Amino acid sequence: MMYRSREHKILGGVCGGIAESLGWSPTVVRFLFVLTMILIPGSQLIIYPILWIILPKRPLPQHSPYAYGS
């Protein structure tokens, strides 16, 4: 399953989450995102916010002190 990244995020963690799920560098995914915005403008402005809303954040590891809200 794809998640939004908790570690590699600038705006919403969508590009970082895509990079984590593909095993790529977040910088490469962000570069490709900007490149597609230049070559095919418009669709990214719709897709990114939808993914931001739909994709959940990556769950915290169980050993994390923040996993239970402490």
pLDDT given at position 41 = 86
pLDDT given at position 45 = 86
Q: Please tell me the distance from the alpha carbon of residue 13 to that of residue 40, in angstroms, as a whole number.
A: 22
- CA angle, 40 as apex, 13 and 17 as ends, to 5°? 15
Q: Which amino acid is at 58?
A: R
Residues 5-63 have pLDDT tens digits of 999 989 999 999 999 999 999 999 999 999 999 998 888 889 999 999 999 998 887 77
pLDDT given at position 1 = 84
Domain boundaries, given as residue ranges, for the chain: 14-54
Q: Nearest to residue 32, comparing CAs of 6, 55, 22? A: 22
